[in-house]
Amino acid sequence: MANRPLSPHLQIWKWGPHMLVSILHRVSGDGMAIVGLGVLLWWLGALASGPAAYETFHTVMTTPIGYLVLVGLTWAFFTHLCSGLRHFVLDTGAGYELDANRMWSIASVTGAVVLTVAFWAAIFLL
């Protein structure tokens, strides 16, 4: 039998922000694809169906659960955007140093939250 290294198991890896960003990138992309597509199709259908259908859509989306869905979609968008920009920089060959990778991973998550809060603050305050 060849004397070659075994593939490391999940218990060996130390969890870090870069792993969180990678997982959030996948989850946010799937969430936008599934939930976002559903909300978009419902909105377009309500828009095309007339004032009564649109009023139903508007009423549901302005409930606390509706706002939670919309804020969640906004957060998913900004998370995916910030993570995608981070990966774009990594694709250029920069940012692979451990400290830089950790800093940009934390900045990616923090930036998504800040952009989401700023977006909804602008909607409610303007």
Q: Residues marked as binding for heme?
A: 80
Residue pair 44/59 in contact by the 8 Å Cβ criterion: no
From CA 61, how far away is CA 107, in angstroms rounded?
A: 30
Q: Please give the DSSP secondary-structure letter assigned to residue 63.
A: S
Write the single-letter amino acid at 102: R
